[in-house]
Each structure stands twice: as C-alpha cells, then as structure tokens.
Structure 1
C-alpha cells in the first residue's frame, strides 16, 4: 500500500503541474477581487469606492450599471493599477514575519457607447465593458489554492482576470436602470498516462477546458430633482440615490487524473480528483446616496456582503474542505456591513480633487483555522485623487481626461492561533499596510 500512496501524490503533482503549465496559473491569489479589494478606476481608488455608484466611467458596469446613462458621450479608457502590500504575521516571542509582499499589478481597458444608432428608436441604450489583467497584462489567471502552516491572508494577493459587460437605459425622468454580468472561469483538466515507478510517463493525454460563468449585477439610479421637479429647483434638487445587487461569484478549477502504474496499478488506473475554488465574491447589496452642489459633491454608501455562504462553498472544495475537523475547529464567516464616505471638489474647469474613507470589518469569524490557517483583519481605508481635463487638443474633437488615485489600507492588529500539520499551536498577531496607486486616461467620442 505504500507505493500507490506515494504515487498518488506524484500523480496529483503531475496533473496539477500539467494544468498549471497549460493555463498559466503560477501566481499567488486570494478570495479578493479587483473591484471590491481596491477599486477599479482611479476615481474608485481615491474615494474608497464611496462615490463609485455614481461614477459615469466604465467601472459603472461593476458598481452600478445604471450610472452608464449619466454621460451621453462614448468613452474609451485605459489605465494601470499597482498595489504594494506588506502583510505580516508576528509571533510575540520573535521578530515579525512578512507573510506576503507580492504586488498586484493590473492593466485596465474599458469602453462605453450609445447603441441607439443601431435601432429605429431614439431611446438611448448604453453598452459598456471593462477588463483588468494581472501582471500588467501578462497573467490571465492568478491562482493558488493550498493549506498552510505559516498562515495565509484571505482577501489579499494577486487578482484573477476581471471582466464585466453591461448595459443601461433611462426609464423615466431621472430614473435609470442597468444590468451587467461578471465573467469568471471554471477550468477543468483531465490527465491520463502510463507511468513507471520512477515517474517516467508514456501515452499521455491531457484535456483542458475553461468555461465562462456569468453572474448578474443589477443597478438603478434615481435623480430626485429630475424626477419630482424637472423644470425648477426644489428641496430635492441635487439629491441622488442608487441601489445595486451583485450575486455571488467565484473562480473554480478541477483536476482529474487516471494513471496506470506498470506492474502496480492496472487499467483503468489510479483515479484522483482535486476541485477547488478561488476569488470568491459574496452576494452583495449596496445602497448609496450623494448630494451635488455647484462645484462639489458629497456622498456615501452602505454595503452588505454575505460571506457566510463561503462556508458551503468550502464544503465542496477538496483542498479547503474541513469536514474531518471537529465542529469547533471549522472555519466560520460573518456577513458584514461596510460604510463608505467621500467627497469631490471642482477646483476649476480643468482640475478636480477627491477623497474618501471606509471601514471594512473582517468577514473571518474564527481565529483558529487548522490546516488552512487563514488570516484576515479589519481595515481602515483612506483615498485621495485628482483629475485633469484638457478641453482642447490639436487632434481630438472631445476633451481628454487624466485621473490619478492613491489609497492606503491599514490592516488592524488581530490575534490568531496557527496550527501546523503536527498539531503544534502558535499565537501570532496579524496586521499589514497596503499602498495602491492607479492612473487612467479617458477619451470621449
């Protein structure tokens, strides 16, 4: 029984290695998401996502598709995002250890346009999409799923492919609605081979499939002034409210192998299957409001994220499944509320500044998570940004806009108990610092 057990590990390694090489997934990842962990565009980064529900740029396809109607012009946007993170796990009896310092580096591209010219109706229909790819466009899937003795952070790391596509239309005076889909991938691979005890394989067959899955995002926006007093100013003028619902989503990968070992394991061979999830995004409901003055606006939102659903997802994960552990040791998650507040001021017709703050509770309820040893803390998020608009250029008919956004995330100290594979317990304190810098250029048409 020893040889097949040893070979089962080798077969799993062969299968996972083959799939990793084929799908280009050599990077550390997390349960995070570019849109919720940092912010998609510089405006979202700079305001800690507090004004994202009213942002008329292409990132609206994720935060609130209905906001695509706020600007009638078409738009082409490209940008980059760099998140430098130092995530620590310190033993009180030793020097602090850096668990992760790998940056997240995204290149972004998006576009929105009015499709009404394609129809016989004059009613505007806006279509928008945005995509973000890790390692400045070189890494389509950032993926790593593992157990850990040293501890691993739940929500931070490199982010997988970020892709959203959606549309919106005005419904009635100041009221608009929109819908979009978040695209994630479910990858599967099947490896068949004949191997010697030395690990030399022959008659290999490898089949890899990656299927997109579509998760719905719904949004609506109400401009109270346009709705209730469109022809004159009233007490409701300047007030807007938005509501968004996002279904849960996750990236999934499954690897299967059928290995025949010469003189040890006959046909049909040793069957192994590994299924795991990554980049889970909880069901989310967001309510936001803002008030706009002559050259300024202030607003905020309350965001509910239902992380408790992740417990059921883990039960179907071969790597993160904790069914064999005692009920008191299993990982637990809380549903959380995230308050956000931000403001923007127009300095003149060319420049504007903005900022925002948010407080995000950790959804990780348990501080003892054997084998997985997840770490996660509460976060204070602060952002600042600036925009510059060039109204007249020598070549372009419409203004060009440049945006810069900076964000600092302070991970608050939180105590955890790490449990290694031998059952040894170590008390540590988790904390960290994250610096995010984002820039973009937007062309109107």
Structure 2
C-alpha cells in the first residue's frame, strides 16, 4: 500500500476530516460567502449590493450595522435564497464544459428590536441578528477542501452557516454608529484507531469540538442635512453617507489522526494532520453615498477588498498549500475595488421597484496554480426587485412587507492553465452564468 504517496495521504486525510464532523464529502464549498457572493436579503440581491449600506432591514448587521437605527420599529424577517450556477471550463479532456452546476439554497431568519426601554435613559439601542443556513436549513456546515485536476471555481458553491449579530445607536444629529460580529466556526477533530487492511476499525477514540470565531464589522452613517443644517434647507438635505469596515474571517477545520494498520503499520501508527480554511472573507473597506427624493432614492458604493491576505492564509493550509509548494510557486491574489450603483422608485405607497449594477474584478491573480487549479473571472452583476407593503391586515397592528429580488451574474471569459497530478498542462477558458432569486416577508412590531 503506497501510504507514502502524498495524494493517497491527502485523500485519507480528507476522508477522516469528513467522517467525524458529519460533513458531506461531495459538497462544493467556496472562498466566498452569502453576503459578498450574492447578497443577503432581496433588497441586496436586487440592487447588486449597491444600496446595502442603506438597507434598514436586518441584513444591516453585515453591510452597515449603523443603519439599524433608521427604523425605530422592531422587525422579524424570514426569507429564502436560491442561486443556480452554470460554471464552465472549456477543457477538451472533460465530459462537456460544465464544471459545476450545484445550487446554493439558503433559508434566512433575522430580527431587530430596540433595547433602549431596558435602561433609565430611554436612549435607543438597536440589536439585530441574521442567520442563513444552506440547503434550506438542513446543512449548517457545507464544506469541502480539495485539489483537483479539472479546475474549481474560487467563489461559488454551497455556503456554510451565515450568522451575524450586532447593535447600533444614534450618536448626534443624524450621525449613527454600529458594531456587529460575524460568527464562524473553527472545528477540531482528533481520531485514534486500529484498522485492518479490509477497513474494519477497532479501539477507536474520537473527539470533536467547534468553537466560534468572532470577527468585527464597524459602520457609521451620516445624514448630512440633519448634521450640518438641521433647522434650515441647504444643498446637503437628503444626502446620506456611510463608511464601513469588515475584518477578514474564514471557517476552518483541523484534523489530527493516528491510524495503526494491523500487519502493515505498527504502533505508533500513521499520523495524519489536516488544517484547512473555507469561506474566506477579506478585510473590506466600504464607502457609500445615497440621495433620497420624494418617491425615489439613488446611490452607490465602492468597496476595497484585500484578498492579498489570502496568500498568507494558504501557507498554513495543508491541502491548498501543498499544490503551490510542489510546483515551486504560490497562488497570488490582488486587492480589488468593486463599484456599485443602484436606485429605487416608489410606484405608489404600496409598491416599489429597485435595480442595481456592479462590476466585480477577479481577485485571483494567478492563471497557473497547479493541483489546486482555482478558476475565477471578472463578472458583471445586474439586479432587479420589487417590494409590496400591506398597510392594513386583519390581525397585525403594523404593515407587512414582501420583497423579491433577482440577480444575474455574467462571468467573463478568462484563460487558465490547468496542471494535473502528473504535471501535464491543459489550457482552458473559464466563464459562466449565475441566476439568483430571493424572497422575504417582514413583520414590524
């Protein structure tokens, strides 16, 4: 048995990683996440995240926690998101050119409330949280980390648990500030066992733990009219600005195992160690501007995402770093700027239309990354959505709001060189189409 082969060891390590953690081994996970890849709520999906910094729903805990202060009422929101992907790689050695078509399917729930009544000062303090779970609530830890000969897309696939908790409060004359945390899991597993050549194990000892990792998100919103000319009209009226900051984050799994194979590998056995990351979120700086008219609003944002930090993260990843070390070169990433614009128009007091546009440059600088064979392209993102508000219902004291959003992502063609395990190279062209549909219902209280 060729246990010395790095590929066999890698495969065994991954199988051990999947088994104790109860994770499906065939899952196509990614370095993206729900909030950055698609958008959390239908408003974010429909505006290509261009107005997300000025969305007063619970998704503000991720995009701009300060905007939780915009609506004084409490809120309970439930929603779903379905992303259908056709990611292509024109490789003559593959069966067809569709590399991945696995959908991402989320169920979402969130709530916001004012905790100011708990204090004697009556100063409003808003608390909000939002959670998204893959496969319509059935799969909390969608995870896969692998090398591949046919290529794998960097930012698409099933997403792990999406969880944000945050709070905000007004500071002074149109200025609000907020802070939230993104919660990810760092899982650790230890396995000791004795196995026969037929795969029958005995004397197993397994321990699994997962601890939360909290990453900070900061946001500030300034209503320029209320701040600089609160008692008179001026040209700053109806203008709002927002500044946000998100620290880098990722989910991780670490597996240490020791296997004794009777008649083949005596005590102390074969030690396998795996440490890998997934759903990486880069350090992000955001600046947004919005102008609100009588029945409409328009705005935009620009984000700087520091993906170059992922190079350092991969140096400690025993799966993804192996491919770059063997080839003598490392995967390289660029820091990128993402511009977004969007608008919303109220048809009447009950219905609103919104749309958005964004251009997202690929952070993947390398077009030749052996064994791991990541693919990623620039993309054009277009969104469209509708809101319906029912002001009077028979049972509820406050309005009920329904939102739907659609988003289309066109992945631009880009050439890559794939390298298989034997060192053979193949030139391919990566592109794709992504369709996202999202819906939610919001109850005020």
Note the alpha carbon deviations across 1:298-352, whole angstroms, 9 max, x for none: 100010000000000111001000452455x421100000000000011111011
Contact 1:26 1:142 in 2 (8 A): no
Distance 1:26 1:325, change over 3 A: closer
Is the partner of 1:364 in helix, strand or coil? coil
Distance 1:371 1:14, change over 3 A: closer
Normalising by structure 2, report the TM-score: 0.96
Matched residue, 2:85? 85
Matched residue, 1:186? 186
Contact 1:66 1:179 in 2 (8 A): yes
Is the partner of 1:324 in helix, strand or coil? helix
The offset of 1:17, in angstroms, is: 4.2
Contact 2:405 2:438 in 1 (8 A): yes
Matched residue, 1:346? 346
Matched residue, 1:224? 224
Matched residue, 1:159? 159
The offset of 1:262, in angstroms, is: 2.4
Contact 2:324 2:331 in 1 (8 A): no
| Aligned counterparts, 1:3-402, within 5 A | 12=13, 15-20=16-21, 22-23=22-23, 27-91=27-91, 96-321=96-321, 322=323, 324-327=325-328, 329-402=329-402
Distance in 2, matches of 1:362 and 1:304, equals 12
Distance in 2, matches of 1:85 and 1:421, equals 27
Normalising by structure 1, report the TM-score: 0.96
Contact 1:252 1:276 in 2 (8 A): yes
Distance 1:58 1:139, change over 3 A: same
C-alpha RMSD over aligned residues: 1.8
Contact 1:315 1:323 in 2 (8 A): no
Distance in 1, matches of 2:359 and 2:307, equals 17
The offset of 1:121, in angstroms, is: 1.2
Gap regions ≥5 residues in structure 1: none
- Range with bigger deviation, 29-38 or 9-18: 9-18
The offset of 1:4, in angstroms, is: 6.9
Contact 2:291 2:297 in 1 (8 A): yes
Note the alpha carbon deviations across 1:100-124, whole angstroms, 9 max, x for none: 0000000000000000111111110
Contact 2:23 2:142 in 1 (8 A): no
Distance in 1, matches of 2:338 and 2:286, equals 9
The offset of 1:147, in angstroms, is: 0.4
Distance in 1, matches of 2:47 and 2:92, equals 35
- Range with bigger deviation, 199-208 or 394-403: 199-208
Distance 1:365 1:9, change over 3 A: closer
Is the partner of 2:308 in helix, strand or coil? helix
The offset of 1:188, in angstroms, is: 0.9
Matched residue, 1:438? 438
Distance in 1, matches of 2:307 and 2:111, equals 31
Distance 1:176 1:13, change over 3 A: closer
The offset of 1:254, in angstroms, is: 1.0
